[in-house]
A and B are shown apart, each in its own frame.
Chain A
Amino acid sequence: MPEIDTISQPPAKIRLADVGIVFRPRDREPVVAVRDFTFDVPEGSIVTIVGPSGCGKSTILNIVSGLMPPSRGKVEVDGRPVTGIRHDVGYMFARDGMMPWRTAIENVAFGLEVRGIANRNEIAREWLRKVGLDRFEGHYRHELSQGMRQRVAVARTFAIEPNILLMDEPFGALDSQTRLLLQELFLDVWERNKRTVLFVTHDLHEAIFLSDVVIVSTNRPGRVKSMVPIALPRPRLPPAELAVAPEFRDIYARIWGDLKDEVRKFV
């Protein structure tokens, strides 16, 4: 039975309690990737995990999606334990994952197609419009720039109206200007439906710009080092403007202070 929170707090959409993940490669010592990881993602908020490379950030997304089970601890979505692959999550990677044999619109419609939704083309077209690709619906992957491919991925992810969104450095492979535009676009789309988002990145600007809470993870084995609420008003300023605001720099300094030691151990 999940313990009930006090009424003032919003209900936890995603909850991890004492999660530990141990990899046991054949013929080698087991690797503890994550230890005692505990946090909540409240309904409708964006929580971002930042941490040094190899701290198990992506692994946490994998256990929330049910792609792999935790070695110990509890993982819950909507108060129910995650037992297998969830079909109600939108998942984005740094790689766009576009199917090269499908056009942009067919890629966006894929999730709707396997769910048997009849008006999938209208929905997909609408989402392509929202990410600014309405003129490119008939284009194949090789005819789109990297930024456009990732915009297709954003449309594809939102089109299925996922219960929760899991983002694994989704803009990590983009050049820095395109990344700023896509972050802004993502937040703009998110503002309209406020899905619950668990985000993973090592880009601090990105984490602060997008999130309600930033979780700093330690070096491997990953543990929660600190949780920093981002009390910046929404809708947020565009990232380039926000980056020069004094309150942004205070938050940045605080998070970087926590993160620096962890990264230093690693370098």
Chain B
Amino acid sequence: MAASDTDALLIEAGAGVGVGSEPDRRRVIFARLAVLLVFLGLWQLVVAIGLVDAFWISTPALIVQELWHLLENGALVSDVAVTIYEALVAFVVSSALGIICGLLLARSPFWDDVLAPFVLALNSLPRVALAPLIILWFGIGVMAKVVTAFTLVFFILLVNTLGGAKNVDNDIITIARLMGASERDILWKVTFPSALPWIFTGLNLGLTYSLLGVIVAEILASNHGLGYLIAASAASFNTAGVFAGLITLAVVAWLFSLIMRKVEARLLRWKPSLTSA
């Protein structure tokens, strides 16, 4: 954020700032790999010299074996597919409803005022505690997972969208109105794009929480998905299986946030901080 608005002029449009120099990047990646290898080496070592039993912490080699085994028999692919499917359905439905409700509340200060304490109360409740009730109501299928995630993600998007929509520059609204914009134009051409950075903050968070809700519900009651894989492995004292599930989960979460950031950078390319990042 060193470049001021006027400095930005000196940079030809579209051309990235490109300050990060090449050799530095390569050294960082190399160092990261080194950290990872040292960690894995130590892990393998403490078990090999008998400091800790493989029963408790498994070993990198055992986990790779387990991953390979799960890939071969197809269990991993189907569990990942189930979890991703549930998380994405929950994410899309909850985000869409959260954004719509946020925009609606922003238009009606009366209902915003009426509902504010309820939103606050529900949003402060540790929603994971609702999971047993939700499982009771919706069983162990996809629905229970989606609803559990919904209770988390919906409020995140609602609160963020509302915050963004209330923060619209009044000058812009006045000018738009004087130029003949209808209320509908104001909503979709002013309020929504203006709130988009806030909405994306909510979406980034929402995707993580969507996965969290789904995994918790899977761990509690399920016969599919990564949460089930982790819970079932732990129940049968298969630590390698637990770690295999956790690592796969980490990769899924990382991919999710990677895609999200790409979409965000594309849609918010008008933001100064993102164009130079």
Contacts and interface: CB of A to CB of B under 8 A. Distances in A.
B6 interface: yes
A170 B143 CA distance: 57
A143 B8 CA distance: 5
B174 interface: yes
B185 A114 contact: yes
A101 B179 contact: no
Given A99-B193, A101-B196, A143-B8, A115 B180 contact: yes
Contacts of B5: 142, 144-146
A93 B6 CA distance: 21
Contacts of B176: 110, 114
Interface of A: 65, 67, 85-87, 89, 91, 93, 95, 97-103, 110-111, 113-115, 138-146, 156, 160
18 contacts: A86-B178, A89-B178, A91-B174, A97-B169, A97-B172, A98-B172, A99-B172, A101-B270, A103-B270, A110-B179, A114-B176, A114-B185, A141-B270, A142-B8, A145-B5, A145-B6, A146-B5, A160-B180
B261 interface: no
Contacts of B181: 110, 114
B178 A114 contact: no
Contacts of A91: 174-175, 178
Contacts of B174: 67, 91, 97
Name the 10 nearest CB pairs between A and B, nearest first: A111-B179, A87-B180, A142-B272, A101-B193, A97-B171, A114-B181, A140-B270, A97-B175, A101-B270, A114-B185
Interface of B: 5-6, 8-9, 13, 169, 171-172, 174-182, 185, 189-190, 193-194, 196, 270-272
Contact of B180 (A100, A114, A141): A114
A115 B181 CA distance: 8
Contacts of A86: 178
The main secondary structure of chain A at its interface with chain B is: loop
A213 B78 CA distance: 79
Contacts of A87: 178-180
A85 B177 contact: yes
A144 B9 contact: yes
A95 B171 contact: yes
A144 B169 CA distance: 19
Contacts of B169: 97
B140 to A, nearest CB: 44
Contacts of B13: 138-139, 143
A51 to B, nearest CB: 22
A170 B237 CA distance: 73
A241 B270 CA distance: 40
Nearest to B192: A101
